[in-house]
Amino acid sequence: MNYLTHENKWGRAVGPVAGVLILLAAVLLAAGRCPAASGPAIPSIFKPESTPADSIYGLSLLVLAITGLIFVIVFGLIAYAVTRFRRRPNDGAEPPQVYGSNQIELAWTVIPVLIVLVLFMATARVIHAIEDARMPKGAIEVTAIGHQFWWEFRYPALGIVTANELHVPVSDPEHPTPTFLKLLSADTDHSFWVPRLAGKTDLIPNRVNKMWIDPHDVGVYVGQCAQYCGMQHAKMLLRVYVDTPEQFDQWVQEEKKPAQTNDAVNEGRQIFETTACINCHTVSGTVADGRFGPDLTHLMSRDTIASGAAPNTHENLKTWIQDPDTIKPGSLMPAMKLNDHELNALTTYLEMLR
Protein backbone atom coordinates (compact mmCIF):
# COMPACT_ATOMS: atom_id res chain seq x y z
CA MET A 1 0.00 0.00 0.00
CA ASN A 2 2.81 2.42 0.88
CA TYR A 3 4.57 1.53 -2.35
CA LEU A 4 1.47 2.32 -4.43
CA THR A 5 0.99 5.61 -2.58
CA HIS A 6 4.62 6.52 -3.24
CA GLU A 7 4.29 5.69 -6.92
CA ASN A 8 1.13 7.83 -7.19
CA LYS A 9 2.97 10.80 -5.67
CA TRP A 10 5.84 10.27 -8.08
CA GLY A 11 3.42 10.14 -11.02
CA ARG A 12 1.72 13.36 -9.91
CA ALA A 13 5.11 15.07 -9.64
CA VAL A 14 6.37 13.92 -13.01
CA GLY A 15 3.08 14.53 -14.84
CA PRO A 16 3.27 18.37 -14.99
CA VAL A 17 6.94 18.29 -16.01
CA ALA A 18 6.25 15.84 -18.81
CA GLY A 19 3.29 17.95 -19.92
CA VAL A 20 5.43 21.09 -20.12
CA LEU A 21 8.13 19.26 -22.11
CA ILE A 22 5.54 17.83 -24.52
CA LEU A 23 3.96 21.29 -24.98
CA LEU A 24 7.37 22.88 -25.62
CA ALA A 25 8.23 20.21 -28.18
CA ALA A 26 4.88 20.74 -29.93
CA VAL A 27 5.43 24.51 -30.10
CA LEU A 28 8.92 24.10 -31.55
CA LEU A 29 7.67 21.56 -34.07
CA ALA A 30 4.83 23.83 -35.14
CA ALA A 31 7.19 26.80 -35.45
CA GLY A 32 9.53 24.77 -37.61
CA ARG A 33 6.71 23.76 -39.95
CA CYS A 34 5.21 27.25 -40.31
CA PRO A 35 6.04 28.75 -43.71
CA ALA A 36 8.08 31.93 -43.65
CA ALA A 37 6.08 35.08 -44.29
CA SER A 38 6.87 36.81 -47.54
CA GLY A 39 7.53 40.52 -47.92
CA PRO A 40 8.72 43.03 -45.36
CA ALA A 41 5.85 42.63 -42.90
CA ILE A 42 7.58 40.38 -40.34
CA PRO A 43 11.25 41.01 -39.52
CA SER A 44 13.22 37.93 -38.49
CA ILE A 45 16.34 37.88 -36.36
CA PHE A 46 16.99 34.38 -37.73
CA LYS A 47 17.58 35.58 -41.30
CA PRO A 48 20.46 38.08 -41.10
CA GLU A 49 21.25 39.99 -44.30
CA SER A 50 24.08 42.22 -43.07
CA THR A 51 27.47 41.62 -41.46
CA PRO A 52 26.56 43.08 -38.01
CA ALA A 53 23.33 41.05 -37.86
CA ASP A 54 25.15 37.92 -39.07
CA SER A 55 27.82 38.32 -36.36
CA ILE A 56 25.17 38.72 -33.66
CA TYR A 57 23.27 35.70 -35.01
CA GLY A 58 26.41 33.56 -34.96
CA LEU A 59 27.16 34.61 -31.39
CA SER A 60 23.61 33.82 -30.32
CA LEU A 61 23.92 30.29 -31.75
CA LEU A 62 27.15 29.75 -29.81
CA VAL A 63 25.56 30.95 -26.57
CA LEU A 64 22.46 28.85 -27.22
CA ALA A 65 24.57 25.75 -27.88
CA ILE A 66 26.62 26.15 -24.69
CA THR A 67 23.69 27.01 -22.43
CA GLY A 68 21.58 24.28 -24.05
CA LEU A 69 24.28 21.72 -23.32
CA ILE A 70 24.47 22.92 -19.71
CA PHE A 71 20.69 22.61 -19.41
CA VAL A 72 20.69 19.06 -20.78
CA ILE A 73 23.49 17.97 -18.43
CA VAL A 74 22.00 19.59 -15.31
CA PHE A 75 18.47 18.45 -16.06
CA GLY A 76 19.74 14.93 -16.82
CA LEU A 77 21.65 14.75 -13.52
CA ILE A 78 18.63 16.01 -11.59
CA ALA A 79 16.33 13.50 -13.29
CA TYR A 80 18.84 10.70 -12.61
CA ALA A 81 19.19 11.67 -8.94
CA VAL A 82 15.41 11.93 -8.47
CA THR A 83 14.74 8.51 -9.98
CA ARG A 84 17.83 6.62 -8.81
CA PHE A 85 17.97 7.84 -5.24
CA ARG A 86 14.35 8.44 -4.34
CA ARG A 87 13.28 7.19 -0.97
CA ARG A 88 12.21 3.56 -0.89
CA PRO A 89 9.24 2.24 1.15
CA ASN A 90 10.14 1.40 4.76
CA ASP A 91 13.65 2.66 4.20
CA GLY A 92 14.52 4.88 7.13
CA ALA A 93 18.26 4.50 6.89
CA GLU A 94 20.35 7.61 6.54
CA PRO A 95 22.25 7.77 3.22
CA PRO A 96 26.06 7.62 3.25
CA GLN A 97 27.64 10.94 4.19
CA VAL A 98 30.43 12.18 1.93
CA TYR A 99 32.47 15.11 3.14
CA GLY A 100 34.20 17.04 0.40
CA SER A 101 36.06 16.05 -2.73
CA ASN A 102 38.86 18.21 -4.02
CA GLN A 103 38.42 16.88 -7.54
CA ILE A 104 34.68 17.64 -7.66
CA GLU A 105 35.07 21.08 -6.08
CA LEU A 106 37.87 21.91 -8.50
CA ALA A 107 35.78 20.74 -11.46
CA TRP A 108 32.68 22.79 -10.60
CA THR A 109 34.89 25.84 -10.10
CA VAL A 110 37.18 25.59 -13.13
CA ILE A 111 34.58 24.46 -15.70
CA PRO A 112 32.12 27.37 -15.08
CA VAL A 113 35.03 29.83 -15.15
CA LEU A 114 36.18 28.46 -18.50
CA ILE A 115 32.62 28.62 -19.88
CA VAL A 116 32.21 32.24 -18.78
CA LEU A 117 35.63 33.09 -20.23
CA VAL A 118 34.71 31.56 -23.60
CA LEU A 119 31.41 33.45 -23.71
CA PHE A 120 33.13 36.68 -22.66
CA MET A 121 35.83 36.41 -25.31
CA ALA A 122 33.35 35.52 -28.06
CA THR A 123 31.09 38.44 -27.10
CA ALA A 124 33.99 40.89 -26.85
CA ARG A 125 35.22 39.85 -30.29
CA VAL A 126 31.81 40.51 -31.88
CA ILE A 127 31.39 43.83 -30.07
CA HIS A 128 34.85 44.96 -31.16
CA ALA A 129 34.24 43.93 -34.77
CA ILE A 130 30.96 45.85 -34.92
CA GLU A 131 31.66 48.90 -32.78
CA ASP A 132 35.21 49.61 -33.93
CA ALA A 133 34.74 49.03 -37.64
CA ARG A 134 36.40 51.77 -39.70
CA MET A 135 34.40 53.59 -42.33
CA PRO A 136 35.93 52.78 -45.72
CA LYS A 137 36.18 55.17 -48.62
CA GLY A 138 32.95 55.28 -50.58
CA ALA A 139 30.70 54.44 -47.63
CA ILE A 140 27.31 56.15 -47.39
CA GLU A 141 26.91 58.49 -44.41
CA VAL A 142 23.47 59.06 -42.92
CA THR A 143 22.36 61.02 -39.87
CA ALA A 144 19.29 59.41 -38.31
CA ILE A 145 17.33 61.60 -35.89
CA GLY A 146 14.59 60.15 -33.73
CA HIS A 147 11.50 62.28 -33.11
CA GLN A 148 8.24 61.60 -31.34
CA PHE A 149 7.14 59.59 -33.30
CA TRP A 150 8.97 59.47 -36.64
CA TRP A 151 12.43 59.17 -38.17
CA GLU A 152 14.41 61.85 -39.95
CA PHE A 153 17.20 60.77 -42.32
CA ARG A 154 19.82 63.21 -43.57
CA TYR A 155 22.52 62.45 -46.14
CA PRO A 156 25.07 65.24 -45.51
CA ALA A 157 27.32 64.45 -48.47
CA LEU A 158 24.36 64.16 -50.86
CA GLY A 159 22.26 67.07 -49.61
CA ILE A 160 19.17 64.91 -49.12
CA VAL A 161 16.63 64.97 -46.30
CA THR A 162 13.85 62.38 -46.06
CA ALA A 163 11.75 60.66 -43.42
CA ASN A 164 10.82 57.18 -42.20
CA GLU A 165 12.09 55.34 -45.28
CA LEU A 166 15.86 54.95 -45.50
CA HIS A 167 17.38 54.18 -48.89
CA VAL A 168 20.82 52.56 -49.05
CA PRO A 169 22.76 50.72 -51.76
CA VAL A 170 23.35 46.99 -51.58
CA SER A 171 26.85 46.11 -50.39
CA ASP A 172 28.45 43.68 -52.80
CA PRO A 173 31.24 41.69 -51.07
CA GLU A 174 33.49 42.42 -54.06
CA HIS A 175 32.64 46.13 -53.95
CA PRO A 176 31.50 46.81 -50.36
CA THR A 177 29.37 49.91 -49.85
CA PRO A 178 28.40 49.96 -46.18
CA THR A 179 26.15 52.62 -44.71
CA PHE A 180 27.32 54.33 -41.51
CA LEU A 181 24.64 55.98 -39.39
CA LYS A 182 25.09 58.73 -36.84
CA LEU A 183 22.22 58.44 -34.37
CA LEU A 184 20.73 61.50 -32.64
CA SER A 185 17.56 62.25 -30.72
CA ALA A 186 15.47 65.41 -30.94
CA ASP A 187 13.50 64.82 -27.76
CA THR A 188 13.63 61.61 -25.69
CA ASP A 189 15.26 58.17 -25.80
CA HIS A 190 14.69 56.09 -28.94
CA SER A 191 16.30 52.94 -30.31
CA PHE A 192 17.08 52.12 -33.95
CA TRP A 193 16.46 48.46 -34.72
CA VAL A 194 16.19 46.67 -38.05
CA PRO A 195 16.55 43.02 -36.94
CA ARG A 196 17.83 41.58 -40.22
CA LEU A 197 20.49 44.29 -40.65
CA ALA A 198 21.93 45.07 -37.20
CA GLY A 199 21.36 45.03 -33.48
CA LYS A 200 19.64 47.72 -31.44
CA THR A 201 21.38 51.03 -30.90
CA ASP A 202 19.93 53.78 -28.71
CA LEU A 203 19.38 57.39 -29.70
CA ILE A 204 19.91 59.54 -26.61
CA PRO A 205 19.48 63.32 -26.27
CA ASN A 206 22.77 65.26 -26.23
CA ARG A 207 24.74 62.16 -27.19
CA VAL A 208 26.01 60.82 -30.52
CA ASN A 209 25.85 57.07 -31.10
CA LYS A 210 26.88 55.25 -34.25
CA MET A 211 26.14 52.02 -36.08
CA TRP A 212 26.60 50.59 -39.56
CA ILE A 213 24.98 48.15 -41.95
CA ASP A 214 26.09 46.49 -45.19
CA PRO A 215 23.02 44.74 -46.65
CA HIS A 216 23.88 41.79 -48.85
CA ASP A 217 20.63 41.57 -50.79
CA VAL A 218 18.18 44.07 -52.28
CA GLY A 219 14.72 44.39 -50.78
CA VAL A 220 12.75 46.11 -48.05
CA TYR A 221 13.73 45.52 -44.42
CA VAL A 222 11.42 46.71 -41.67
CA GLY A 223 12.21 47.81 -38.15
CA GLN A 224 11.04 50.22 -35.51
CA CYS A 225 11.93 52.13 -32.40
CA ALA A 226 12.86 49.55 -29.75
CA GLN A 227 12.89 51.93 -26.77
CA TYR A 228 9.62 53.12 -25.20
CA CYS A 229 9.42 56.79 -26.12
CA GLY A 230 5.80 57.74 -25.52
CA MET A 231 2.23 56.93 -26.42
CA GLN A 232 2.87 56.10 -30.08
CA HIS A 233 6.14 54.24 -29.58
CA ALA A 234 4.66 51.07 -31.10
CA LYS A 235 3.87 52.93 -34.34
CA MET A 236 7.27 54.55 -34.72
CA LEU A 237 8.12 52.25 -37.61
CA LEU A 238 10.81 52.49 -40.26
CA ARG A 239 11.72 50.86 -43.55
CA VAL A 240 15.13 50.34 -45.09
CA TYR A 241 15.07 50.09 -48.89
CA VAL A 242 18.17 48.31 -50.13
CA ASP A 243 18.59 49.28 -53.79
CA THR A 244 20.93 48.22 -56.54
CA PRO A 245 23.65 50.82 -57.23
CA GLU A 246 21.72 52.00 -60.28
CA GLN A 247 18.44 52.27 -58.36
CA PHE A 248 20.14 54.13 -55.54
CA ASP A 249 21.78 56.62 -57.92
CA GLN A 250 18.42 57.24 -59.58
CA TRP A 251 16.75 57.75 -56.18
CA VAL A 252 19.47 60.25 -55.21
CA GLN A 253 18.94 62.23 -58.41
CA GLU A 254 15.17 62.32 -57.87
CA GLU A 255 15.52 63.42 -54.24
CA LYS A 256 17.83 66.28 -55.21
CA LYS A 257 15.18 67.81 -57.46
CA PRO A 258 12.98 70.61 -56.09
CA ALA A 259 9.36 69.95 -55.30
CA GLN A 260 7.08 69.58 -58.31
CA THR A 261 4.20 71.98 -58.77
CA ASN A 262 1.91 73.47 -61.42
CA ASP A 263 -0.83 76.05 -61.69
CA ALA A 264 -3.54 73.47 -61.12
CA VAL A 265 -2.55 73.09 -57.46
CA ASN A 266 -1.88 76.75 -56.62
CA GLU A 267 -4.89 76.89 -54.34
CA GLY A 268 -3.69 73.93 -52.31
CA ARG A 269 -0.18 75.35 -52.19
CA GLN A 270 -1.54 78.66 -50.88
CA ILE A 271 -3.48 76.83 -48.17
CA PHE A 272 -0.33 74.92 -47.21
CA GLU A 273 1.77 78.11 -47.04
CA THR A 274 -0.79 80.15 -45.07
CA THR A 275 -1.59 77.60 -42.35
CA ALA A 276 0.36 75.97 -39.54
CA CYS A 277 1.77 73.42 -42.01
CA ILE A 278 4.84 75.54 -42.74
CA ASN A 279 5.71 75.78 -39.04
CA CYS A 280 6.50 72.05 -38.95
CA HIS A 281 7.26 70.92 -42.50
CA THR A 282 9.75 71.76 -45.23
CA VAL A 283 9.05 71.79 -48.97
CA SER A 284 12.05 72.85 -51.03
CA GLY A 285 11.47 75.85 -53.26
CA THR A 286 8.74 77.26 -51.01
CA VAL A 287 8.56 79.34 -47.85
CA ALA A 288 7.95 76.16 -45.84
CA ASP A 289 11.07 75.43 -43.82
CA GLY A 290 9.80 73.86 -40.60
CA ARG A 291 11.88 71.24 -38.80
CA PHE A 292 9.42 69.78 -36.27
CA GLY A 293 7.82 67.44 -38.80
CA PRO A 294 9.01 65.37 -41.78
CA ASP A 295 10.33 67.00 -44.94
CA LEU A 296 7.51 66.77 -47.50
CA THR A 297 9.43 67.73 -50.65
CA HIS A 298 9.02 64.22 -52.08
CA LEU A 299 6.16 63.00 -49.92
CA MET A 300 4.49 60.88 -52.60
CA SER A 301 7.67 58.94 -53.34
CA ARG A 302 7.14 57.18 -50.00
CA ASP A 303 5.06 54.06 -49.60
CA THR A 304 3.72 54.98 -46.16
CA ILE A 305 2.71 57.95 -44.05
CA ALA A 306 2.72 58.55 -40.29
CA SER A 307 6.01 56.67 -39.91
CA GLY A 308 4.65 53.51 -41.47
CA ALA A 309 1.32 53.56 -39.65
CA ALA A 310 -0.69 53.63 -42.89
CA PRO A 311 -0.18 53.17 -46.65
CA ASN A 312 0.34 56.41 -48.55
CA THR A 313 -3.02 56.55 -50.34
CA HIS A 314 -5.36 59.40 -51.24
CA GLU A 315 -7.91 58.58 -48.54
CA ASN A 316 -5.32 57.96 -45.84
CA LEU A 317 -3.58 61.22 -46.67
CA LYS A 318 -6.85 63.15 -46.35
CA THR A 319 -7.60 61.45 -43.03
CA TRP A 320 -4.09 62.15 -41.76
CA ILE A 321 -4.41 65.87 -42.58
CA GLN A 322 -7.88 66.29 -41.14
CA ASP A 323 -7.64 64.17 -37.99
CA PRO A 324 -4.27 62.44 -37.33
CA ASP A 325 -5.56 60.71 -34.20
CA THR A 326 -7.74 58.51 -36.41
CA ILE A 327 -4.57 56.84 -37.72
CA LYS A 328 -2.13 57.48 -34.89
CA PRO A 329 -3.72 58.45 -31.55
CA GLY A 330 -1.42 60.63 -29.48
CA SER A 331 0.69 61.83 -32.40
CA LEU A 332 2.01 65.37 -32.10
CA MET A 333 0.58 66.50 -35.44
CA PRO A 334 -2.37 68.88 -34.91
CA ALA A 335 -5.70 68.29 -36.62
CA MET A 336 -6.10 70.93 -39.35
CA LYS A 337 -9.94 70.99 -39.27
CA LEU A 338 -10.28 72.27 -42.84
CA ASN A 339 -13.56 72.37 -44.73
CA ASP A 340 -14.06 69.83 -47.51
CA HIS A 341 -13.00 72.19 -50.29
CA GLU A 342 -9.78 73.22 -48.53
CA LEU A 343 -9.01 69.62 -47.60
CA ASN A 344 -9.38 68.43 -51.19
CA ALA A 345 -7.25 71.29 -52.52
CA LEU A 346 -4.49 70.70 -49.95
CA THR A 347 -4.49 66.95 -50.58
CA THR A 348 -4.23 67.53 -54.33
CA TYR A 349 -1.22 69.78 -53.77
CA LEU A 350 0.54 67.31 -51.52
CA GLU A 351 -0.02 64.54 -54.06
CA MET A 352 2.06 66.58 -56.51
CA LEU A 353 5.11 66.31 -54.24
CA ARG A 354 6.93 63.43 -55.89
So what's the pLDDT on residue 13?
Answer: 42
So what's the pLDDT on residue 215?
Answer: 94
> What's the farthest any 2 CA atoms get from each other in the chain?
101
CA-CA distance, 211 to 205, in Å (whole number)? Answer: 16
CA-CA distance, 350 to 259, in Å (whole number)? Answer: 10
CB atoms inside a 10 Å sphere around CB 260: 13
Q: What is the pLDDT of residues 268-322, one digit of tens each?
A: 889 988 888 888 898 988 888 888 889 999 999 999 999 999 999 999 999 999 9
Percent with pLDDT over 70 in the chain: 87
Q: What is the pLDDT of residues 99-134, one digit of tens each?
A: 777 888 888 899 999 999 999 999 999 999 999 999
- pTM for this one? 0.80
So what's the pLDDT on residue 219?
Answer: 92
Q: By mean pLDDT, which of 107-111, 179-183, 261-265 is the weakest?
A: 261-265
So what's the pLDDT on residue 40?
Answer: 55
Q: What is the pLDDT of residues 20-60, one digit of tens each?
A: 455 445 444 444 443 333 445 467 888 899 999 999 999 99
